[in-house]
């Protein structure tokens, strides 16, 4: 097997959900490697025992697959993953790390340190009060006699291993940011193995990138300063140095970090604004609600947050890839838009697919500044993509979306009705989800349909004579007499009435009809709406509407 010229990796910590920022990083790593005929690999950084317990820890893989970002090596999912350089879970590579760790200690490039957390905290605190940055002081631990170290280890004293960082400035060479030099002393003797025996992130990354023959490290800019530590370790271990590229962060419009905490904030604000003291029915328990509201620092689980949001009828900001999926965004649009945050192909091109990205992606064109994530523009892109696709494609993609996220809706509508509805909704849909949210009236029973009592409704129905209500009365027998119940047949039946009684102003008849059958002022085009609804429901609802508003 030949060695690929280019190997990139995406190395997240385990999670059930893929954050959009992570998705963008993965996308760039993927595009970079695949554009060069190289390998893109996935590695799970699960060295934090406290965080790596849950079984859904690699749920984010499905998000990656949904986006169309396939990985050549890594955890197996469908046709993705596998590879000869595993295991790809760091927690399964402990003996590998320990080998290199021992080598460093042996060579005097790393040492055991027995400081307690309390001692270190105190020193950090003192440094902070003194107004300078804390740097680990190696004078005690680095010079412990070997006999002492062995004795303390033998008696089971908790110990970490620290890297003995050489003195001197460190220059980071970065393909997007250029060169940056950290002054001597800026990188101290950092921990490379924790007291629990697990390597720290820094150590595991360096070893794995070497062993997995990673050539290019593309990661978020928040890792920039870590690079110096990784360089120190590479030198100590005699490893080659990969090429680095640090990608600009993606933030909220207010420049704050995008995090699932944003969902919590929306919910908390809603609860406070509405002065609620109890959760809505069928959401979360009162006890959970109280505990959550009592402490600003606790967060609801994602599932709880969704339940509560549904109960409160608020929409949560999309943060994770599956949030966007649920909201009805297209994976290809999300990829396109994500790529535009931090990169652009120039030449005023901004609509492209991942194939184009693969061919054109280039570190030189990655921007240095953080990008504020603009959901409105994403929505506009999504709208363009939806209205631009063939009708059959929209219908089938909307169907899949409905089956996954609106099972109740799909159950109460026939296949034929769905096809008509989707067809009528196509050109007015900005997302795959919209038609399910705005057309609930199709799936409720005729006798529970309620009419909204808004200004617009009253204006359309109860204005000066001849008003909407009288048009409804007049048009009812016309509809009853319709032999064929299709959009075109209905149009042919109603239009003459409009010509005769409203000077051809179809709206004067259409809007009352819309209200009568939907309960509100918004629906697909009126004849489609009536056709989908069917003869019985349409007539039923019009009769009830007349009765209701006449009373």
Footprint (CB under 7 A) of RNA, residues 361-390: 365, 367-372, 374, 376-377, 380, 383-384, 387
The residues in 125-144 that bind RNA, with binding defined as CB under 7 A, are 131-134
Based on the shown chain and the rule CB under 7 A, indicate whether residue 163 belongs to the binding site for RNA. no
Token output for 35: 């554009």
Compute CA distances 112 → 90, 150, 185, 194, 235, whole Å.
Answer: 22, 10, 20, 10, 19
The residues in 27-46 that bind RNA, with binding defined as CB under 7 A, are 45
- What is Dmax (Cα atoms) for the chain? 107
List of residues 6+ apart from 207 with CB closer than 8 A: 93, 96, 97, 100, 199, 237
Token output for 117: 């957390």
Classify the phi-psi angles of 437: left when phi > 0, otherwise alpha if psi is within -120 to 50, otherwise beta. alpha
Task: Outline where 107-219 has alpha helix (H).
Answer: 117-130, 146-154, 201-211
The residues in 432-471 that bind RNA, with binding defined as CB under 7 A, are none
CA distance linking residue 162 with residue 244, whole number of Å: 24
**Contact residue for RNA among 82, 158, 168, 496 (CB under 7 A):** 158
Shortest Cβ distance from residue 468 to RNA (Å)?
Answer: 12
Instruction: Using CB under 7 A, count the residues that bind RNA.
Output: 86
The residues in 240-279 that bind RNA, with binding defined as CB under 7 A, are 248-249, 251, 253, 255, 257
DSSP code at position 313 = T
Give whichever of 511 and 540 is closer to RNA, judged by the CB atom.
511
CA distance linking residue 532 with residue 420, whole number of Å: 6
The residues in 4-23 that bind RNA, with binding defined as CB under 7 A, are 11-13
SS (H, E, C) 98-126: HHHHHHHHHCCCEEEECCCHHHHHHHHHH
Q: From 306-314, 319-327, 390-398, 501-509, give the range in contact with RNA by CB under 7 A.
A: 501-509
Based on the shown chain and the rule CB under 7 A, indicate whether residue 191 belongs to the binding site for RNA. yes
Give whichever of 17 and 430 is closer to RNA, judged by the CB atom.
430
Give whichever of 215 and 341 is closer to RNA, judged by the CB atom.
341
The residues in 280-339 that bind RNA, with binding defined as CB under 7 A, are none
**Contact residue for RNA among 5, 53, 98, 116 (CB under 7 A):** 116
List of residues 6+ apart from 367 with CB closer than 8 A: 248, 342, 343, 344
**Contact residue for RNA among 63, 72, 73, 115 (CB under 7 A):** 115
With contact defined as beta carbons under 8 Å apart, do 124 and 134 qualify? yes
Give whichever of 290 and 427 is closer to RNA, judged by the CB atom.
427
Window 337-366: contact mask with RNA (x via CB under 7 A): ---xxx-x-xxx-x--------------x-
Alpha-carbon torsion 262, 264, 266, 268, what sign? negative
Shortest Cβ distance from residue 536 to RNA (Å)?
Answer: 21
Give whichever of 82 and 504 is closer to RNA, judged by the CB atom.
504
Shortest Cβ distance from residue 277 to RNA (Å)?
Answer: 34
């Amino acid at each position: 097997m030949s060695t690929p010229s280019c190997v990139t990796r995406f190395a997240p910590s385990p999670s059930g959900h893929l954050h959009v920022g992570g998705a963008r990083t993965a996308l760039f790593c993927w595009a970079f490697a695949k554009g060069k005929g190289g390998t893109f690999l996935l590695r799970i950084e699960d060295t934090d025992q406290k965080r790596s317990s849950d079984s859904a820890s690699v749920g984010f893989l499905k998000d990656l697959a949904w986006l169309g970002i396939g990985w050549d090596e890594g955890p197996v999912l469908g046709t993705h993953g596998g590879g000869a350089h595993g295991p790809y879970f760091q927690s399964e590579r402990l003996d590998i790390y320990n080998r290199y760790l021992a080598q460093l200690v042996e060579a005097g490039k790393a040492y055991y340190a027995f400081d307690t957390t309390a001692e270190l905290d105190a020193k950090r605190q003192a440094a902070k009060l003194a107004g300078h940055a804390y740097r680990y002081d190696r004078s005690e631990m680095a010079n412990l006699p070997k006999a002492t170290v062995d004795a303390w280890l033998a008696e089971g004293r908790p110990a970490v291993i620290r890297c003995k960082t050489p003195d001197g400035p460190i220059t980071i060479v970065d393909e997007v940011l250029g060169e940056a030099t950290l002054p001597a002393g800026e990188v101290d003797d950092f921990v490379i193995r924790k007291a629990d025996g697990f390597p720290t992130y820094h150590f595991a990354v360096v070893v794995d990138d070497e062993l997995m023959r990673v050539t290019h490290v593309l990661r978020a800019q928040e890792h920039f300063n870590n690079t110096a530590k990784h360089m120190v370790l590479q030198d100590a271990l005699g490893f080659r140095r990969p090429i680095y590229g640090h990608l600009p962060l993606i933030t909220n419009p207010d420049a704050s970090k995008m995090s699932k905490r944003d969902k919590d904030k929306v919910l908390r604000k809603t609860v406070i604004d509405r002065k609620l003291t109890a959760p809505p029915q069928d959401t979360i328990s009162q006890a959970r609600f109280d505990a959550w509201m009592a402490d600003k620092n606790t967060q609801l689980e994602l599932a709880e947050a969704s339940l509560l949001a549904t109960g409160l009828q608020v929409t949560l900001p999309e943060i994770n890839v599956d949030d966007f999926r649920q909201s009805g965004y297209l994976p290809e649009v999300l990829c396109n838009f994500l790529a535009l945050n931090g990169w652009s192909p120039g030449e005023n091109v901004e609509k492209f697919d991942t194939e184009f990205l693969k061919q054109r992606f280039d570190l030189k064109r990655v921007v240095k500044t953080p990008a504020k994530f603009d959901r409105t523009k994403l929505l506009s892109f999504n709208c363009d993509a939806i209205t631009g696709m063939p009708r059959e494609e929209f219908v089938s993609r909307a169907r899949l979306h409905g089956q996954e996220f609106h099972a109740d809706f799909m159950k109460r509508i026939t296949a034929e009705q769905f096809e008509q509805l989707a067809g009528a909704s196509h050109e007015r849909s900005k997302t795959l989800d919209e038609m399910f949210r705005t057309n609930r009236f199709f799936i409720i029973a005729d006798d529970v349909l309620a009419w909204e009592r808004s200004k617009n409704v009253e204006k359309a129905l109860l204005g000066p004579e001849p008003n909407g209500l009288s048009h409804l009365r007049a048009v009812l027998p016309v509809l009853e007499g319709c032999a064929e119940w299709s959009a075109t047949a209905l149009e042919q039946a109603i239009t003459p009435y409009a010509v005769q009684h409203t000077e051809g102003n179809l709206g004067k008849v259409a809007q009352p009809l819309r209200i009568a059958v939907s309960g509100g002022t918004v629906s697909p085009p009126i004849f489609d709406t009536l056709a989908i609804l069917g003869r019985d429901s349409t007539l039923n609802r019009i009769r009830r509407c007349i009765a209701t508003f006449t009373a």
